[in-house]
Structure 1
Amino acid sequence: MSVRKRAWTTSAGEEREAYVVQYSIPELDKRGKRKRVIKTFDRKKDAEAFHAQVRVDLGKGTHVPASKSPTVAEAGRNWIDACADLERTTRDGYEQHLRDHINPYLGGLKLSALTVATVRDWQDKLRKGAPAPGRSEASVRSADMVKRVTGSLGSLLADAQERGHVGQNVVRSLKANRKRGKERRAERRAKGKLKLGVDIPTPLEVEALLRAADARWRPFLLVAIRCGLRASELRGLRWQDVDLKKGELRVHQRADAYNEIGRPKSESGDRTIPIPPTTLRVLKEWKLKCPRDSNEAQHFVFPNGLGKVEFHANIITRGLIPTMIAAGITAPATDKTGKPTRDEGGNPVLTAKYTGLHALRHFFASWCINRKVDGGLELPLKIVSERLGHSNIAITADRYGHLFPRADDSAELAAAEGKFG
């Protein structure tokens, strides 16, 4: 196995040179001898990097020659087929990553040709909005989108590695996947923490929202705010999982984006949550007039007018946003450039300040965490994590840890110091 420089003259009289890596693989040719593989590179450092990697892969018995390596697009189809048992929405997300972000740039490349440098160059093009080969334009991808599609590429390569189609998963070699210490802390600082009045509705805003809610949406909003269910869990909630005598509900299933019923997001998602008195009273009244489909096996708590699972988009556009606007919880609407939009009279156009149901779940978390003197429940971290249905307590701590009462509160310190002064 070696790296050598080759120079030659073309039929047109042009001087050319390249760096050649030549090696043998265990597979035998027709004469019973080990097959020889020759690969050329324009740059010496690329040839040397390939040479070093092939040596390692041959030693491990994981090397796949280019002739037997499928393209990224072909490996992507195998990966999507292997995701058949996943939720439909998850599978659709992977297909969208493959179709819009991976295949246009990398689809024609052999897996064996993928390097860390290739993947880094692809990430840079996504961030900058550089168009893929053969296309004239492309949009800039956010840092979060680049991170997610890179994760999808890593899963694709892991599947191909298990099939013996590629020797290594280059995504796992990216420096971004090895962030430690200061880099991770800097990334968290850049992302920012959830802020009251920005990401989390204030108590006054929540009160205004509930006052403005009509009879159709008040029960839904109360359960979202006081029980902290995810949107999918609210849409899949059944009356048989609500115990009006004990004053508690059990999250046992959820509805996905296609209104298909399935298990909760994680094992911890299957949980029991107490229902506060006011919310319980409103639910009892709502049950008497809640629509029900006579042909539906499940009696949903918050169905559409026909008693079937309500679409998430309808809840947002017909329930949450109109109620927010009616309550005066608004913010100036902006265009794609971030500039405020105005109507024909030149007046600022207002839209709902919080346009997603997850803001209400954030409020529930902050309500559970806040001190009793501030109107909260002051629950321990473990209890908060259980009520939110997080798969582990670390998720709750990372997301909401900064909201917990400070142990070094100045007033409490002064009082404690006085006892020993």
Structure 2
Amino acid sequence: MVSIQSTLPQQHHPDIAIPMRVTILETRPNTWRLRIETPGENGKRTFSYRTIKGTREDAEYERLTLLREARAKDRVTEPKRLVRGTSTVTVGEYLKRWIEMRRHRGEIADTTAEWYGFVTNYVLPAIGDKPLRSITAADIQALYDDLLTRLSPRTVRHIHARLKPAFEDALIEGLISSNPFNGKRVRPPRADETKIETLSQADIGRLVMCVDQKHPTVAPIIRFAVATGLRRGEICALRWEDIEFHRDASNRLIGGVVHVRRNAVQTGNEVQVKRPKTKSSVRTVALPPSVAHELADMRNKVVEKLNADEPGKVEACYVFPASHGGIRVPSALTHQVNRAMADCGLERFTLHDLRHAHATFLLSRRMPVKAVSQRLGHADITVTLRTYAHVIPQDDAALAALTEDLLPRAGGSLLDMSDDEDDDEDL
């Protein structure tokens, strides 16, 4: 059963201290400076410094001592810790508790919550039953090699970014005697820089015709996703109050816009309706007339079904609800759309590829990158360029032709002008 909550972005609990951070800096040979960052008043952080003379190991020992002392003070406000002997604590037991504590402290942002699910889904089945103290760098590297047979390098790097601090905290807690991630013994894969394979215009046409026949309940969602480029969570959280229809003077429907105000975030079996992913994700997206007409027909059916005279009852309903009328679970939507695409001969593509197809089509038609970036809700234009630079037409010959206007058209060639300048210098 999936529980649904509607909340604002999670804040730090007032009774839970933000963890201390200690950084080691080498000031000169055999002299180390500890930069100690601790919570201050009103959420501000304070800094202090300590000098350690000796080896790097001496400085590391002092750093761990400070962190253990700070962590001991916070134990009364954190979830119950593992009480079994440290030699018998498994990786699965520790990681589940570690994720729970991070969530309790408010350290897991909405934008990264999904990646902690990858740790649960892929790491625990592989090494979850092994004792935490027995894990070596070779075990972690073997795990990554195995995951790369099923996951992209980018996904494995995200898993690495969660495992590394987890083992760092285990070292601080004294649950392990050494951190397998220290000394660069574990090397995550390089980021996947392969170009995104997108659906062509012909693929989209074939998909739309196919789902109308084989999957009529999913067809409106697919058309909407292609036409707007909205993210999965944004589609699931959309209510009728977010759809604005535009009509001309004769009350004829001519289009509309979607106001993206919410995002459905799924963590395990829990779905929370929160603010969109970034500040730029709060946006207004124009609708093509055909999609506006389809949405208007869908809304009329909702009105008839509810027999609602009060507009508020309809406006609060989800545009693409689950069968029970509530919010559609994001993972369920992905499964339904992916299955429909596979039935239409496009099994190598997913729901998110509809967003890629939307962006690729606009950019390949030379639409302004900034306008496309705003429509997609990217944090800034660099995200759009980094993701879709390969689909933006590069016409260097046309650029060269434009520069012709920079050159003088009278008085001879550039070579002649260059010779004249040289003669002037000789004079």
Q: If the length of structure 2 is used for normalisation, what is the TM-score?
A: 0.59
Superposition map of 1:307-318 within 5 A: 307-312=325-330, 315=333, 318=336
CA distance in 1, matches of 2:144, 2:123: 16
- Which of 192, 197, 203 lines up with 2:194 in the alignment? 192
The corresponding residue for 1:107 is 132
Counterpart of 2:278 in structure 1 is 266
CA contact (8 A) 1:123 1:146 kept: no
Residue of structure 1 in register with 2:206 after alignment: 208
Give 1:149 deviation, angstroms. 3.0
CA distance in 1 between partners of 2:233 and 2:284 (Å)? 16
- Give the counterpart letter for 1:207 in structure 2: G
1:206-258: per-residue Cα shift (whole Å, max 9, x none)? 12323334264443222201110112211111110111127211222223444
Alignment correspondent of 1:56: 59
Match of 1:413 in 2: 400
User: 2:233 maps to what in 1?
Assistant: 232
Conserved? CA contact 2:208–2:222, under 8 Å: yes
- Aligned residue identity for 2:220: P
Question: 1:399 maps to which residue?
Answer: 387
Give the structure 2 partner of residue 285 of structure 1: 297
Give the distance between the partners of 1:361 and 1:307, measured in 2 at CA. 25
- SS state at 1:247 partner: strand
Q: Kindly tell me: are residues 169 and 148 of structure 1, through their superposed partners in 2, closer, same or farther at Cα, counting changes over 3 Å? A: same
Contact preservation (8 Å) 1:251, 1:269: yes
Which residue among 111, 135, 140 is the counterpart of 1:123? 140
| Of 364, 367, 370, the match for 2:358 | 364
State the distance in 2 between where 1:406 and 1:60 align: 52
Counterpart pick for 2:374 among 386, 402, 416: 386
Match of 1:81 among 96, 101, 126: 101
Closer, same or farther in 2 for the Cα pair 1:175/1:163, shift >3 Å? Answer: closer
Whole-angstrom distance in 1 between the partners of 2:275 and 2:207: 30
Deviation at 1:79, TM superposition (A): 4.2
**Displacement, 1:272?**
1.7
What is the one-letter code of the residue matched to 1:205?
Answer: D
Q: CA separation in 1, counterparts of 2:64 and 2:236?
A: 51
Q: How many residues get paired?
A: 310
**Residues 141-180 of structure 1 aligned to structure 2 (within 5 Å):** 142=151, 144=153, 146-157=156-167, 159=169, 171=181, 174=184
Tell me: CA distance 1:301–1:128, structure 2 relative to 1, closer, same or farther (3 Å).
closer
Q: 1:393 to 1:164 in 2, by over 3 A?
A: farther
Q: What is the RMSD of the two structures over their aligned residues, measured on CA atoms?
A: 4.2
Q: Aligned-pair distance for 1:359? A: 0.9
Give yes or no for contact 1:239–1:301 (8 Å, CA) kept in 2. yes
CA 211–158 in structure 1, closer or farther in 2 if over 3 Å, else same: same
Give the CA deviation at 1:162. 7.7
1:46 equivalent in structure 2: none
Work out the percentage of aligned pairs sharing the same amino acid: 21
Instruction: Tell whether 2:262 aligns with 1:253.
Output: yes
Task: State the distance in 2 between where 1:101 and 1:200 align.
Answer: 32
Q: Distance in 1 between matches of 2:291 and 2:182?
A: 48
Q: Is contact 2:211–2:340 with CA below 8 Å preserved after alignment?
A: no
- 5+ residue gaps, structure 1: 1-50, 130-137, 331-351, 373-377
CA change 1:205–1:97 in 2 (3 A) is closer
Specify which structure has the bigger relative contact order, considering alpha-carbon pairs within 8 angstroms and separated by 6 or more residues.
2
The whole-number CA distance in structure 2 between the counterparts of 1:324 and 1:141 is 19
Q: Does structure 2 conserve the Cα–Cα contact (< 8 Å) formed by 1:252 and 1:263? A: yes
Question: Aligned pair in 2 of structure 1 residues 63, 240: CA closer, same or farther (>3 Å)?
Answer: closer
Q: Contact (CA 8 Å) 2:226, 2:354: kept in 1 or not?
A: yes
Q: Which runs of 5+ in 2 are unaligned?
A: 1-53, 73-84, 247-254, 414-427
Deviations 1:54-102 (A, max 9, x none): 323245574789xx99667475324432224546755544444552345
TM-score, L = length of structure 1: 0.59
